[in-house]
Chain A
Amino acid sequence: MSTQPDLLYSEEEEALRAAVRDLLTDHCDAADVIARCESDAPHDLSLWKALSDGMGLAGLLVPEDRGGQGATHREAAVVLEELGRAVAPVPYLTSAVVATEALMACEAAGELLAGLAAGRRIGALAVGLHLAPGAAFATVRLDNGALHGELTGIADAAVADVLLVPADDGGLYAVEADRVTVTPQTSLDLTRPLARISLHGAQGRRLGDAELAVRRALRAGAGLLASEQLGLADRSLTETVRYLKERKQFNRPVGGFQALKHRLAQLWLDVAGLRAAARNAADALATGEDADMAVAVAQAYAAPVAVRAAEEALQLHGGIGMTWEHPVHLCLKRAKADSIAHGTAGAHRETLAELVDLRAP
C-alpha cells in the first residue's frame, strides 16, 4: 500500500447523503414499501425517476465524456448507504452499479451506457445475484445470431429495459427486455425481487467480452453492497436503541437492562467496524488500489454484522417485530438476501485465503 485509504466522508459526500435522505424521508415511507412489495409492481419507479433523472445519481460511476456524472464509488457508496437504510425498492445497485460497470468494461457500450447513466433506461446484468466475483456463471446458447436459453436469479430483471446476457461464445450481449420472457420468482427479499429470463431466439447486440465485464461488475457490486449493508445495520441498530429507550417493562425502560445494553454496545462496535470496512472498499474501488483485497475483506465482514443487526432488532422489538406491519422484516429479508448476494462471506474468505496466502490444508 503506497497511501492510506481515506476512510472518512467528505463534506460533499455528507451533503449528498442529506439530499438522498431527504428524498427518501418524503418518498420512501416503510408502510408504502410494505404495501408495494406484494403488489404487481414491487419497484418504486417514481422514486427511481427522482433519484436518476431528478438527482442524476444513476450516472455517478460514469465519466462525463461517456454521459455520466464523473463521480466515484465513494459517492455511489453513500447513496447505497441511504438506499439500504430505507430498504428502497429501486434498481440502483443492479442498474447504476452492476450493469453500468459491466458496460464500462465493454468497447461497444456507447449509447446504452449513456442511457443508463442518464436514467433513461434500466439495465440488468443477467448473472445470478448469488455469484461472487470470479465465480463461474451460466450462459445462453448463441445460434445463428440468436440467443436461446434460460437464466434464473436475475435481480430487478422485472423492471429492466435491457438485459446484459452472457453467451456461450464468450461475449456479452445487450438484449431488449421486450424480446425475452421475464418471469418473476417469489423472492425472500421482496424489495429486490429475482426473475427467470427465457430467451427463445432473441436478437442481441455484442458488447464485449463477458468474462471481463462480469468480473468487473461483480467486484464493484460486492464492494458497494457493503455500504448498503452498513445502511441496513445502522438503521436496525438506531431504531432498536430508540425503541428500547421508549419501551417500558418492570417500571423502567427496557434499554436500561444490562443484558440488552451489552448486546447493543457490541453491535455498535461491529457496525463501526463495518463502516470502516465499507469505506475502505469504496475508496479502493475509486482509486483502483488494493481493490480485490478491500472488497473481499468488506464482504467477509459485512453480511454477519448486517444479518445480526436485523435479527437483534427483531428479537429486541419483541412480538411487534414479528408482525408484517412493522418494518423490521424488510431489513431482515434484505440483510439475509444480501448475505448471499455477490457471494457469501465464506466465498469471500476463500478469495482472501488466496490473496493473503493463508491457504487451505
Chain B
Amino acid sequence: MTDAAELRSRAQELLAAHPPADTGRLDFLRARFDAGLAWVHFPEGLGGLGLPRSLQPVVDAELQAAGAPDNDPRRIGIGLGMAAPTILQYGTEEQKARFLKPLWTGEEVWCQLFSEPGAGSDLAALGTRAVREGDEWVVNGQKVWTSSAHLARWAILIARTDPDVPKHRGITYFVCDMTDPGVEVRPLRQITGEAEFNEVFLTGVRIPDAHRLGGTGDGWRVAQTTLNNERVAIGGMRLPREGGMIGPVSKTWRERPELRTHDLHQRLLKLWVDAEVARLTGERLRQQLVAGQPGPEGAGMKLAFARLNQEISGLEVELGGEEGLLYDDWTMRRPELVDFTGRDAGYRYLRSKGNSIEGGTSEVLLNIVAERVLGLPAEPRTDKDVAWKDLAR
C-alpha cells in the first residue's frame, strides 16, 4: 500500500473509532493526535508517523470530508508554527511528551517572548535577565509585541544568562509558564484601535531548569529554528488567484463603476499583476519543496507580500472616495486572530503597515537575502567581540 493509501485507511479507522458526530471536539483531536494523524511529519508517539510533510493534506482532506473538527490552526499559530518545531528539534523527551499534545489540540495556547523595547531588529542585544538559583532560573525584564500573551498558557522565552560574553553567546532559551505570579500582561493598543498584542512584564518569574530548551548559552542557535519557521509560516500560504488583499479591491472595482478613475485603473492593474506573480512565485516555491529542491525564494515571499498588502490596501482606501474618509470601528478590542478580510479597507490599510515590521523588518530581510542568497559581504560589525554588558545602549 502506498503511504497515501495507508494514511487514508488510518484516517478512516480513526473516524470509525471516534465518529465526529458522537465525539467531543477535544476528545476527537486527542484521539487524532494519538493516531499519529496530527502532523504526519512528526515522529511516532508525538502526533505523527515520520512521513513526508507533503502527505498531510491527504489526512486533512479525508477528515474534513467526514466533518471532523480541526484544531483551529489560525488561533494557535505561534504554537504550531514556532514553538512546536523548536521543541521537536531541541526539547528533551520529557518536554516533547509534556508540551506537544496540548499544543496541537489547542488546549494550551503559546506565545513568544522574544522582542524587547531595546532589542528589535537587533534581537540578540536583549536584556531580560535569567539568573540561576538552584534548580530554577529567576527571570526579570520586559518583552513587547507579544500576540496571544493574554490567552497563552506557555511562552517560548529567550533571556540573557551571561552578560560577560558577546551578545549572541550569553542567551538561553526557556519555556515560561504564563500563569506564574511574576508574569504581568498589559494590552498594547495599536493604530487600528484594537490590541492584538501585549507588553509582558517579568518580575521574579521562576522557571525550573527542566524547562530550558537546549544548552545554557545556546539560546541564539535555538531561536534561529523558531525565527526561520516564523518566516516560512508568514510567507508560505497557498493562495488561489485573487486570493489575497487584491480580492476585495477587485470586487469593489467590478461592483462600483462609479468609483473608477484612470489613475486608479492603471495602479490597480499593476498591483493585480504583481499579486498574481507573487502567487505564482509562492506556488513555484511550494513545487520546489514538494520536489525536494527547496529554493531560496522563501526568504523573499514575506517581503513581497508586505509590500503588496500595503500598496493594495492603500489603493483600496482611495478607491472608496468619500467612504475612504470613514473607519469602521475604533473600539479597543483584543481579537483572538487577525482577520484581514472581515473588516473595511481602512483597517486593512492600517494593519498591513505591520507586515513589513512583524517577524523581521523588510530591511532586515533584504539584508538576509543579500548576504545568504546573493553572498554579498556583511556590513563591518562593532558588536561581535564585545561583552554584552559593554555594548552601547
Interface positions of A (Cβ within 8 A of B): 1, 4-8, 241, 244-245, 252-253, 255-258, 261-262, 264-266, 268-269, 272-277, 279-280, 297, 300-301, 349, 352-353, 356-361
Contacts and interface: CB of A to CB of B under 8 A. Distances in A.
B300 A300 contact: no
B376 A276 contact: no
A314 B273 CA distance: 27
16 contacts: A8-B288, A8-B293, A244-B376, A256-B377, A261-B374, A262-B363, A262-B367, A268-B300, A272-B297, A273-B274, A275-B281, A276-B284, A300-B269, A349-B269, A358-B265, A361-B265
A353 B269 contact: yes
A301 B274 contact: yes
Given A269-B304, A357-B254, A7 B377 contact: no
A276 B376 CA distance: 24
Interface of B: 241, 250, 253-254, 257, 260-262, 265-266, 268-270, 272-274, 276-278, 280-281, 283-284, 287-288, 291, 293, 297, 300, 303-304, 363, 366-367, 369-371, 373-380
Contacts, number: 125
B257 to A, nearest CB: 7
Overall SS of chain A's interface? helix
Nearest to B303: A269
Contact of B280 (A255, A269, A276, A300): A276
B277 A253 contact: no
Contacts of A257: 379
Contacts of A268: 300, 369, 373-374
A360 B376 contact: no
Given A349-B270, A358-B268, A273 B278 contact: yes
Contact of B377 (A245, A269, A356): A245
Contacts of A269: 300, 303-304, 369
Contacts of B297: 272
A198 B52 CA distance: 64
Nearest to A358: B253
B376 A264 contact: yes
Given A256-B377, A349-B273, A262 B370 contact: yes
B269 A358 contact: yes
Given A261-B371, A274-B277, 10 more contacts: A1-B241, A8-B288, A257-B379, A269-B303, A269-B369, A273-B280, A276-B284, A356-B250, A360-B260, A361-B260
Top 3 A-B pairs, shortest CB-CB distance: A261-B370, A256-B377, A265-B369
Contacts of A297: 273, 276-277, 280
B287 A265 contact: no
Contact of B291 (A8, A277, A349, A352): A8
Contacts of A8: 284, 287-288, 291, 293
Contacts of B253: 358
A194 B370 CA distance: 39
Contacts of B304: 269, 273
B284 A253 contact: no
A1 to B, nearest CB: 8
A237 to B, nearest CB: 8
Contacts of A277: 277, 280
Nearest to A8: B287
Contacts of B370: 261-262, 264-265
Contacts of A5: 280, 283
A353 B366 contact: no
A358 B259 CA distance: 12
Contacts of A7: 280, 283-284, 287
A129 B272 CA distance: 26
A273 B281 contact: yes
A272 B280 CA distance: 10
A279 B273 contact: no
A355 to B, nearest CB: 11
